A and B are shown apart, each in its own frame.
Chain A
Amino acid sequence: METLESLLAEHPFFKELDPRYITLIADCASEASFKAGDFIFREGDPATHFWLIRQGKVSLEIFAPGRGPIMIETLSDGDVMGWSWIVEPYRKQYDGRALELTRTLVFDARCIRGKCETEPKLGYELFKRFAQIFGERLQATRMRLLDLYGVHS
């Protein structure tokens, strides 16, 4: 039976993180499952959590009046979901909806932020990893901004 700690330790996102910090983070973690169609979070919600998707698929959506909901990104196995907890105003910008049965590890953001205040080095390690996520998401978003498949003149 795998413990939360061992699940965290083997996840690429926490690779090479000091086991002491893994323990600290595990304190703030639990498991959560979502059925297909469940909203995991809604636009405007306070950003109280972030998730590690173990298995499943989640769609990030935004609602445009007149256009309806638009999927702007899907995240699946192994992806980290949620970074608004790390930057003010700590508010979700998108809806997160499970497209299929999705199992996650969920982290209490307030708990994590608290630990980072007492152990700044933990904060730095998390920021490094989230910065990587920001970079990748920004890159991917910019690529779509170019509308590469559109017709241009």
Chain B
Amino acid sequence: MNTGRSSVRVDDRAIIERSDLPRLFQVLQQQSYRVVGPTVREGAIVYDELSSFDDLPIGWTDEQDGGRYRLKKRADKALFGYVVGPHSWKRFLHPPVIHLWKAKRNGQSFEIENEQAETPRYAFIGVRSCERHAIAIQDRVFMNGKYVDPIYKARREQAFVVAVNCGQAGGTCFCVSMKTGPKATFGFDLALTEILEEKRHYFVVEVGTELGASILRAIPHQEAREGEERAAERAVERAAQQMGRTMDTSDIRDLLYRNLEHPRWDDVANRCLSCANCTMVCPTCFCTTVEDVTDLSGQSAERIRKWDSCFTLDFSYIHGGSVRTSPKSRYRQWMTHKLASWIDQFGTSGCVGCGRCITWCPVGIDITEEVRALQESEQSIKEATDGNA
């Protein structure tokens, strides 16, 4: 086994043996990164700060379907043998709760203390391609417009990304339809593909940035050979074949705009509980609310930003009432925004095909099925009118 060679460069492919991978953790921790990655908690694989390599969900996999998520033990000791869980990286880049500023009363006046807490320096281990696309989508939301969110920007700029290419797909995955995976093609410092063979367990590493290269140099690795690279490609292809769902995205924006009054929305509304799970687990949903709170003495006040959801009744409150009072209108708002308006707003779809909304919906509403229903309905109308022509 060679020690790190200082000649590794961007776009190079290398091999890290399973036994050397914990070194990645140590190196990142030595570089003062807070290492965040998947870990098992309360029956799910979530993202949290990892204190050691052993916190990874070694030997676990997940079974996902509409409204269903179960963990199962694997026959092997794969480190990344599962797909995505209820968390996404947005909880670190776009925190669920954050204090914006504090203010103190001063007679008729007040003074604002705008001390920002230190920006955490995260290293994300295990960013899937769909998730990397979701991060890119949120980059456009928070950093591309007239205003830039300083909280997102600061965390984002410091984040070190170790992507993981999926070797298997989940029951609700459809990244292939959304063209967001399974292979990570951009935006990572390092990308790993896990290969488990009978006698060998190793990772094919792709170097994405100079920073990634510098980290890799401190980890024992070797140049990847053709056979190993092909094994990685095969793993990803296998994942691409296993997609649990599909979505035909041709003309999808106009499909949704054309069907704002379609009876299908009533159908969904009968099932939707407006529980907001989908918006919480969706890696691109970004809505927040702002709360101004004060202490009992009324002398100090604080502004807090929290995640919010368009599914709440209050979300669209004006003039003594809400604009979207019916659950139907709120579901329609979410889905139309995600698949159609997002394109007008930010130039891409808001959906990356991760399937979380399908898995975590308590009643199993499936966004791919809803789209299909609209498409089929238009198709049958078209066929009926063509038949009559």
Contacts and interface: CB of A to CB of B under 8 A. Distances in A.
B146 interface: no
B200 interface: no
A152 B321 CA distance: 8
A152 to B, nearest CB: 5
Contacts of A152: 319-321
A152 B319 CA distance: 7
Interface string A120-153: 0000000000000000000000000000000111
A153 B318 CA distance: 10
A146 to B, nearest CB: 13
Contacts of A151: 319-320
Interface residues of A, number: 3
A6 B38 CA distance: 89
A145 B320 CA distance: 18
Contacts of B320: 151-153
A153 to B, nearest CB: 3
Contacts, number: 7
A153 B321 CA distance: 6
A63 B321 CA distance: 35
Contacts of B319: 151-152
Contacts of B321: 152-153
A88 to B, nearest CB: 42
A153 B317 CA distance: 11
Interface in A60-100: none
A56 to B, nearest CB: 38
Contacts of A153: 320-321
A151 to B, nearest CB: 7
Interface in B285-339: 319-321
A152 B320 CA distance: 6
A141 B221 CA distance: 82
A151 B321 CA distance: 11
Interface in B60-102: none
A151 B319 CA distance: 7
A27 B321 CA distance: 57
B325 to A, nearest CB: 13
Nearest to A151: B320
B320 to A, nearest CB: 3
Interface string A39-59: 000000000000000000000
A58 B319 CA distance: 35
A153 B319 CA distance: 7
Nearest to A153: B320
A111 B167 CA distance: 93
A148 to B, nearest CB: 11
Interface string A2-34: 000000000000000000000000000000000
A145 to B, nearest CB: 18
A96 to B, nearest CB: 36
B76 to A, nearest CB: 61
A23 B319 CA distance: 55
B317 to A, nearest CB: 11
A149 to B, nearest CB: 11
Nearest to A152: B320
A27 B319 CA distance: 55
Nearest to B320: A153
A101 to B, nearest CB: 42
A20 to B, nearest CB: 49
A147 B277 CA distance: 38
A32 B321 CA distance: 51
B188 to A, nearest CB: 51
7 contacts: A151-B319, A151-B320, A152-B319, A152-B320, A152-B321, A153-B320, A153-B321
The 4 closest A-B pairs by CB, nearest first: A153-B320, A152-B320, A152-B319, A151-B320
Interface of A: 151-153
